[in-house]
Amino acid sequence: MRPWLLLLFAPALLSAQVAPNTQTGQNADFRITTQLVTEVVIVKDRRGNFIEGLTADDFVVTENGVPQQIRFFEFQKLAEPAPLPPISVDQPTASNVHRARPSIRSIRPDDALYRNRRLLAFYFDLATLAIPDQLQALDAAARFVQTRMSSQDLVAILAFTRGSVQVLLDFTADRQVLLQALETLRRSNEYSEGFGGLGAEKPGPGASFGQNSPEFNIFFNDRQLSALQTAANLLGSVNAMKVLVYFTTGLRLEGVNNLAQLRATINAAVRAGVSLWPIDARGLDAEPPLGDARSGSVSGLALYTGAALERAVENRERRQDTLWTLAAETGGRALLDSNDLLSGIVQAQQSMSSHYILGYYTTNDQRDGKLRKVSIALPKYPGAKLEYRKSYYAPKEFSAFDAADREHQLEEAFMLEDPITDLKLALGIAYFQINNAEYFLNLSVTIPGHELMTGKAQSQERTRIEFIGEIKSDYGETVSNVRDSVDIKLGANSAIELSRRIVQYDTGFTLLPGRYHIKFLARDNETGRIGTYHMPFVILNLNKEVSQLPISSVVLGSQRVDLRESIRATLKQKDQRLEAGNPLVENGLKLLPSLTKVFRKKEELFLYLQVYQSEKPLAYVTFYRDKALAFETAPVGPAYSLREPLRGHVLRFRIPLKQFDPGEYVCQVNIVDPARGRARFWQSPVVITP
């Protein structure tokens, strides 16, 4: 089936700021294409001892196999940390307050500011830290500054709060200023408020994750990983070894949904030369079986069978697994299940040893954005072991791209194994049986309007989005693909209008049962920002279903839109006729799948599914909250039967949500076939907001 396009502007509670035009005149613009590349190299012998006394002539550097001339060379000698005399926050001193900056200062490789220094950045993830954990982390950081910080140490303080990464203090050796900043962080309500659950946070327009809508707050893990990526990029402006001590309570990844952002965060840290040293600020926490004051008591049989305690232990271990991965992939180490948080900071401090800094102006001055491989060797020392960054991405300005460059950028981005998360998007799929062999796959992609920026074109505000999708079989063969683009034209207040909406793109494919992998790319053609989504999925052969009642995917949504208003004007009539093959289209109205399962009380919840190999099925929907029944519909029969040769039926529900209290629920669909004595159950978490 030929793909079709649906573009939706759905209202959401978002906000945006439009910066005023501050241009006052024309200035001469001089540009140079010379690119300085710096590498931090640690050289050790076979016994693990650092090799000193090397010169630039001892090193051979190549980039993509091409020899490079070393233009800058420096040896950074770091002795074993010798703690300074203890101080207190109240001790008077000549405070160097002017060193506190709103951002991390960029320096040249030959800048003496950070020479022979250890650079440690304290990063407090206040979105995950409960108040007791915040205090414990701040106490450990303060004790390090007071008792373990050496004369070679420079410390910066960053925090993630209210949806954005804040640089509270640039790298400084002034311990009094550091203690004052930590004490301010402890006492300030502005920085001491965590999320406290879904919807508690009120991010500003500078949020690193880029969305201010309750619809997208469900992507909690992506927000935290994206913020950590932002912190790594900030530290990347300093051409030196850096350690980021990450105070958090862990992140529990939700299957494959967070893997793209996890890999992007790790890659950003590696490119920036940042080692992540996560510290679980909860310490060694022995949770009582009945729970503690931070949560309600457990109810039901799980309390007596031990299942509740097992779930708590499993959840804790899964949250710590993410911290271990972040540390292992960036050269750090995670401190888990220890009440001595100070020891984790000391280990990070001691991990930084003497090193060489090499700088060269690459002979490849093309700003093509490609991956370049770097090789550094010591021919005179064949047994030496070298640690350094082995690759980097060349820069390129999107505004200078021509048509060929833009096309090449799309091709390269689409071929990359590592996902790109500059433009945030969510993706969901649902499949329905067409005949005894084929299935219709509905693919929905949602982009928050806040992620997009507008540009001028023919005196009208617009933004253009490019889409590429590809489905491969389990054997790596391409079975279907789609390439499309859309221009979004808005009114005079387009920037504000777009920021308050979401854009949903839908397309459809016809597939056989099997295992597949989908790769989808979206690019904002006004800014060049790209987002990719990789996901494996399976289409079951429902004809072979014996033990359970075969059903299609269950689709939840809150909106049904008129196709005449939602389909772009350039869509041809023959393409509109293809909508008749989409099961989600009925009487000219299309049910829009909700990818986040977040609904408002004032809305209605539409539920759609198909049941196969059944004579006359019955179904009802139940909602559970805290394992207690909160709502149940009456049993209903089929809305209508499917065409032959399928022996199937369509089941639909329309549930007003005004009778629900805001909160998290489990929606369960119960389907029974009395004639054949078979049943099927389906569950999904949903969130209802005020």
Average of per-residue pLDDT across 209-236: 65
| Residue 528 and residue 563 in one domain | no
Task: Pick the closest to residue 426 from 217, 567, 198 (CA basis).
Answer: 217
CATH code: domain of residue 593: 2.60.40.2550
Q: What is the pLDDT of residue 227?
A: 85
Quick one: 597 and 632 in the same domain? Answer: yes
Q: Are residues 688 and 675 in the same domain?
A: yes
9 vs 269, residue with greater confidence: 269
Query: pLDDT higher for 414 or 321?
Result: 321
Q: Are 629 and 565 members of one domain?
A: yes
- pLDDT at residue 440 in the model: 93
Predicted pLDDT of residue 571: 36
Task: Answer yes or no: is 268 within a domain.
Answer: yes
Query: What is the predicted pLDDT for the residue at 312?
Result: 67
Confirm if 556 and 527 have CB atoms less than 8 A apart.
no
pTM exceeds 0.85, yes or no: no
Q: For the beta carbon of residue 54, count every other beta carbon within 10 angstroms.
A: 17
Residue that has been written with the tokens 């909508």 in this structure: 579
Q: Name the residue with higher pLDDT: 335 or 317.
A: 335
The reply to whether 478 falls in a domain is: yes
22 within a domain of the structure (yes/no): no
For residue 98, what pLDDT band results from cuts at 50, 70 and 90? Answer: very low
Burial grade of 275 (CB within 10 A; 0-12, 13-18, 19 or more): buried
Residue 603: partners with Cβ closer than 8 Å, 6 or more residues away: 558, 559, 657
Among 541, 567, 585, the domain-final residue is 541
Mean predicted confidence (pLDDT) in 535-541: 92
Q: Comparing 311 with 591, which gets the higher pLDDT?
A: 591
Per-residue model confidence (pLDDT) at position 244: 94
Lowest mean pLDDT among 26-30, 271-275, 310-314, 547-551: 26-30
Average pLDDT over residues 539-565: 86
- 197 and 226 in one domain? yes
Is 236 inside a domain boundary? yes
502 and 554 housed in the same domain: no
- Residue 292 makes CB contacts below 8 A (sequence gap 6+) with none
430 has pLDDT over 90: yes
State residue 149's pLDDT score. 92
Token pair 């509109």 in the structure block, residue: 576
Range 370-377, long-range pairs (CB < 8 A, 24+ positions): 370/394, 370/412, 372/63, 372/64, 373/63, 373/64, 374/37, 374/39, 374/61, 374/62, 374/63, 375/61, 375/62, 375/63, 375/65, 376/39, 376/41, 376/59, 376/60, 376/61, 377/59, 377/60
Best-predicted range by mean pLDDT among 73-82, 134-143, 347-356, 421-430? 134-143
For the stretch 378-422, pLDDT in tens is 998 988 999 887 777 676 666 656 666 677 667 767 776 667 778
Strands (DSSP E) contained in 88-232 are 118-125, 153-161, 164-172
Name which of 283, 282, 220, 299 is nearest 254 in CA terms: 220
Q: Report the amino acid identity of residue 280.
A: D
Number of domains in the chain: 3
pLDDT interval class at 496 (50, 70, 90): low
pLDDT at 602 over 50: yes
Q: Bridge-partner residues for 617, per DSSP?
A: none
Answer whether residue 110 shows pLDDT above 70. Answer: no
pLDDT attached to residue 215: 38
Residue bearing tokens 């805001």? 662
Q: Is the pLDDT of residue 97 over 50?
A: no
* Chain centroid to CA 687: 20
Give the range among 62-76, 376-390, 562-576, 664-678 with minimum mean pLDDT: 562-576
Q: What is the structure's pLDDT at 412?
A: 67
Residue-number span of the structural domain to which 437 is assigned: 1-15+400-541
Tell me the pLDDT tens digit for each residue of 45-96.
888 888 889 999 999 999 999 999 999 888 888 877 777 778 776 543 434 3
Closest CA relative to residue 491, chosen from 478, 481, 501, 482: 501
- Same domain as 188, residue 103: yes
Burial class from Cβ neighbours inside 10 Å (0-12, 13-18, 19+) for residue 477 reads exposed
Which among 129, 124, 12 is positioned nearest to 426, based on CA atoms? 12
pLDDT in the model for residue 152: 87
Domain boundary among 541, 559, 577: 541
Examine the pLDDT at 189 and tell me if it is beyond 70: no
**Weakest-pLDDT range from 99-113, 162-176, 210-224, 448-462:** 210-224
Specify the pLDDT at position 497: 64
> Residue 246: is its pLDDT beyond 90?
yes
Tell me which of 295, 326, 359 is where a domain ends: 359
Q: Domain with 167 in it: what CATH number? A: 3.40.50.410
The whole-number pLDDT of residue 645 equals 77
Please tell me whether the peptide bond between 645 and the residue prior to it is cis, using omega within 30 degrees of 0: yes
Is 78 or 511 the better-scoring residue by pLDDT? 511
Confidence of residue 321 (pLDDT cuts 50, 70, 90): confident
- Residue from 439, 452, 628, 418 nearest 552 by CA: 439
Q: Would you state the pLDDT for residue 670?
A: 95
User: What mean pLDDT is predicted for residues 180-207?
Assistant: 52
Better-predicted residue by pLDDT, 78 or 246: 246
pLDDT band at 538 (very low <50, low <70, confident <90, very high): very high
Amino acid at position 607, single letter: L
Provide the pLDDT for residue 666. Answer: 94
Position 206 confidence tier, pLDDT thresholds 50, 70, 90:
very low
Q: What is the mean pLDDT of the chain?
A: 77
Kindly state whether residue 326 falls inside one of the protein's structural domains. Answer: yes
Q: Which has more pLDDT, 195 or 352?
A: 352
> CB neighbours (10 Å) of residue 619?
24
> Are residues 180 and 154 part of one domain?
yes
pLDDT above 80 (res 688): yes
What pLDDT was estimated at residue 60?
94
Do 344 and 456 share a structural domain? Answer: no
* H helix count then E strand count, the chain: 11, 34
* In-domain check, residue 40: no
Q: What is the pLDDT of residue 398?
A: 64
From the list 189, 152, 370, 355, the residue with the least C-alpha distance to 273 is: 355
Q: What local confidence, expressed as pLDDT, does residue 54 receive? A: 93
Domain membership flag for residue 35: no
33-47, 313-327, 410-424, 633-647: the lowest-pLDDT one: 410-424
Residue 191 has pLDDT above 50, yes or no: no
Q: Which residue has the higher pLDDT, 86 or 554?
A: 554
| CATH number of the CATH domain containing 506 | 2.60.40.3880
Identify whether 382 is part of a domain. Answer: no
The residues near 254 (Cβ < 8 Å, ≥ 6 apart) are 221
Same domain, 457 and 554: no
The pLDDT of residue 157 is above 90: yes
Type and span of the H or E element at 483: strand 478-489
Token pair of 206 as six digits: 């500078």
Q: Which residue has the higher pLDDT, 186 or 106?
A: 186
Q: Are residues 606 and 515 in the same domain?
A: no
Question: Do 521 and 619 reside in the same domain of the chain?
Answer: no
List Cβ neighbours of 374 (8 Å cut-off, separation of 6 or more): 37, 39, 61, 62, 63, 388, 389, 390, 391, 392
Concatenating the DSSP letter of every residue in 20-38 gives -----S----------EEE
